[in-house]
Structure 1
Amino acid sequence: MSAAEARVSCTVTDGVADVRLDRPDKLNALDQPMFEALVDTGLRLAEEPAVRAVVLSGNGRAFCAGLDFGAFRAMADGTRSAERIPATDRPIGPARARGQQAAHVWTALPVPVIAAMHGVAYGGGLQIALGADIRLVAPDARLSVMEVRWGLVPDMTGSQLLPELVGRDVAKELTYTARVVSGEEAAALGLATRTEPDPRAAALALATEIAERSPEAVRAAKRLLEAAGRVDLATGYEAEQREITALIGTPNQVEAVESGMAGRPPRFTDPA
C-alpha cells in the first residue's frame, strides 16, 4: 500500500460512501500523500454510479489539523517555495493546484457530500470541509481560517467560498485574525450547517436519507444549487427547465410518483 492509499479510507454501503481521513496520529494533517489520496478518492467516487451520497470525516481525535508542520518547516528553511508547490496538469473544474483540488473535488462530485467535523478543523482542513455541500459539526469542535497565523493566505478555494457562506465582512474578520471559533459559533455564523453531538453518526443518517431519493433528481438538484448565485437569473431559470424536462417521465421519476401514491418505499435504479 502506498503512502497516499494509506491516508484515506473509503467504503460504500447501500449507496453511501464513508470517506475518512486516516492519519490519526497527526490529527489527519495534510501532507502530499494526503492531498493525493483525497483527490484520487473523490475522482474515483465520481465515476461510481452506485454512490448516491458521501460522508467525509476524520479518523481519531480531529477532522483535520491543517497543513503538516513539516511543510511549514520547509517554508521557513527555504526548501519549499511557491515555485516548488506541486501543481497538476489534470484540472478539476477551475481547480489546478493540488491543494485546491483536494477541496474542490467534493464540490465537483455529482452527488451530495456531507462533512462531519469534530476536534479541530484548521486552515486547509477547514477548506476541505468547505468543499462539502453540508457541514455537521460537534458543538465543542474548533474551527479556524488559520493561514494568516503562518504568514499565508487561504489558497485551497477558501478565499472564494468563505464570503459566500458567512458574508464578506465575517470572512475578512475570520481570515485577518485567524481566530478559533467553536462549533456552536461556526453554525451561528453559517460556517457550519448545524451542530450535532455525534456529527459522523448524524451525517451517515442524513446520507442514508438522501440515498433513498431518486438519484437523478438529487444529482440535478446539486447541479442547480451549485450554479445558483454564480450565473445570471436567465441562465439559472433555463437550467431549471432543462433539468426538469430531462427528469419528467424517466423510470425513476415515475417510480417516485407511483411509490409515493402507493405509500411504499421506492425502488430506484442507479444511473448508467
Structure 2
Amino acid sequence: MAVLLGRGALWPALRLHTADGVCRLAAASCPGRSVLSGTGAPPARLRAHGAGTRHYSSDSDDLRVRYLDREDAGIVVVGINRPKAKNAISKNLVKMMFDAVEDIKKNNKVRSVILCSLVPGIFCAGADLKERVKMHQSEVGPFVSKARALITELGNLPVPTIAAIDGAALGGGLEMALACDIRIASNTAKMGLVETKLAIIPGAGGTQRLPRVIGVSLAKELIFAARVVDGTEAHRLGLVSHSVEQNKSGDAAYLRALELAREINPQGPIAVRMAKLAINQGIEVDLSTGLAIEEACYAQVIPTKDRLEGLAAFKEKRNPHYKGE
C-alpha cells in the first residue's frame, strides 16, 4: 500500500487539461500552419488525412508532430526528421521532444502516440557523435542525464505509445523504442545497443529496460557483444511485438502501428490509461501489491460517464461513443 500512497498524485496528473490551444511547437498561428509547406511531397505517413489536420513543428524541423483528425482523431504521430544526421539524438532534438511530450501530456484528447522516423531506412542512429565529440568532458554526463530523463518521460506518458521501427534503431534510438509500450519493426530493420563498441554502456535506460523486455541473460548477451539483430530476430527474441515485411515505400512498420492505434482508438480512453498505469506499476512489485494497484486503478473508472456509456451501448446493441469523461 505504500506504493499506492507514494503514487497518489498520479491520478490527478492523468486527468489532463484540455489543450485545444496548446501550440508550443509552432508559431502563434499554428492551427493553420502545415509543417510540410515548402518541403516537397510529404512522406506517406503524413498524407491522406485531410487538409484540416493540425500540424505542430519548430522552425528547425528536426521533429514533426502531427495530431491526426477525422476518423483518426486522438492519434498523434511524432516523427523524427534529421536526415543528414541519421536522426541522431542532439541537444536540439532532446529539447524538441521534451516539448512534444509535455504538449501531449496536457491534451486529454490524445488516445495513442506513434513514434516513428520520417527518414527512409533509419529510425534513430543513437547519440549525435559529431556533436558529442565537440562537448567538453564535463558536458557529457549532464547531456546523457537529460536524454535519460526525456526517455523516462516518454515512457511515463499516460496513453499507449507505439514505436514504429522501419530502419536502424541503435543505441539511444533503441532506448527510445524500449520506453514505448509496444514496438513494431519491419523485417529489415536493425536494432542493437552497441555502446560497448565505443567503450561506454547504454546510458539512457537500456541496461534496465532491455532485460525487462527480453530477460536478463539475453539482454546481457546483446549488450556485451554489441550485437545488432534484424526485425525477424527481434521478434523471435521478444524485443518487438510484431515484425512486418518491408514495403516499397519503406513504412510498413508505421502502417502496422497505425492499424494498432486505430484498434485502440475506440476503447474507453480513461480505462486504457488506467490499464497502462496498473500494468506499469504492478510489474515492478509483488503480486499482492500489484493487485492492490489494480483495485485502486479500477476504482478510478467506476464513477466515469464512459463506463455508463459502455453499459448503455451494450444494452442497446450499438457502438459506444466514449468522450474520456
Q: Same fold (TM over 0.5)?
A: yes
Deviation at 1:5, TM superposition (A): 5.5
Cα RMSD (Å) of the superposition? 1.9
Deviation at 1:27, TM superposition (A): 1.7
**2:279 corresponds to which of 220, 225, 242:** 225
Q: Structure 1, unaligned stretches of length 5 or more? A: 89-95
User: How far, CA to CA, are the matches of 2:207 and 2:79 in structure 1?
Assistant: 25
Instruction: Compute the TM-score of the two structures, normalised by the length of structure 2.
Output: 0.75
Deviation at 1:3, TM superposition (A): 7.0
Deviation at 1:229, TM superposition (A): 2.5
Match of 1:169 in 2: 217
Q: 1:38·1:102 contact (CA, 8 Å) conserved in 2?
A: yes
Match of 1:48 in 2: 107
Match of 1:65 in 2: 125
**41-50 or 1-10: bigger deviation:** 1-10
User: How far, CA to CA, are the matches of 1:232 and 1:131 in structure 2?
Assistant: 22
Deviation at 1:263, TM superposition (A): 3.0
User: How far, CA to CA, are the matches of 2:141 and 2:212 in structure 1?
Assistant: 28
Cα distance change on mapping 1:71 and 1:266 into 2, 3 Å:
same
Q: Which amino acid aligns with 2:77?
A: D
Cα distance change on mapping 1:211 and 1:5 into 2, 3 Å:
farther
Of structures 1 and 2, the one scoring higher in RCO (CA 8 A, sep 6+) is: 1
Task: Determine if the alignment matches structure 1 residue 256 to structure 2 residue 310.
Answer: yes
CA shift digits 1:55-110 (9 cap, x unpaired)? 00011121111112314533xxxx431x213638xxxxxxx921112322221101
Q: 2:80·2:119 contact (CA, 8 Å) conserved in 1?
A: no
User: How far, CA to CA, are the matches of 1:160 and 1:231 in structure 2?
Assistant: 15
Task: Determine if the alignment matches structure 1 residue 213 to structure 2 residue 273.
Answer: no
Size of the aligned set, in residue pairs, is 259
**2:253 corresponds to which of 174, 178, 199:** 199
Match of 2:173 in 1: 125
User: How far, CA to CA, are the matches of 1:258 and 1:150 in structure 2?
Assistant: 59
User: How far, CA to CA, are the matches of 2:154 and 2:316 in structure 1?
Assistant: 36
Deviation at 1:204, TM superposition (A): 1.2
User: How far, CA to CA, are the matches of 2:59 and 2:274 in structure 1?
Assistant: 32
Deviation at 1:30, TM superposition (A): 1.1
CA shift digits 1:208-230 (9 cap, x unpaired)? 22121101100000001111221
**245-254 or 132-141: bigger deviation:** 245-254
Q: Structure 2, unaligned stretches of length 5 or more? A: 1-25, 27-56, 246-251
Match of 1:142 in 2: 190
Match of 1:158 in 2: 206
Task: Determine if the alignment matches structure 1 residue 80 to structure 2 residue 139.
Answer: no
Q: Which amino acid aligns with 2:85?
A: K
Q: 1:22·1:58 contact (CA, 8 Å) conserved in 2?
A: yes
Q: 2:235·2:243 contact (CA, 8 Å) conserved in 1?
A: yes
Q: 1:136·1:199 contact (CA, 8 Å) conserved in 2?
A: yes
Cα distance change on mapping 1:106 and 1:245 into 2, 3 Å:
same
What secondary structure, in the 3-state scheme, does the structure 1 residue paired with 2:159 have?
coil
What secondary structure, in the 3-state scheme, does the structure 2 residue paired with 1:63 have?
strand
User: How far, CA to CA, are the matches of 1:55 and 1:3 in structure 2?
Assistant: 19
**195-204 or 106-115: bigger deviation:** 195-204
Cα distance change on mapping 1:222 and 1:56 into 2, 3 Å:
same
Q: Which amino acid aligns with 2:279?
A: L
Q: 1:4·1:34 contact (CA, 8 Å) conserved in 2?
A: no
User: How far, CA to CA, are the matches of 1:131 and 1:6 in structure 2?
Assistant: 23
Identity %: 31
Deviation at 1:249, TM superposition (A): 4.3
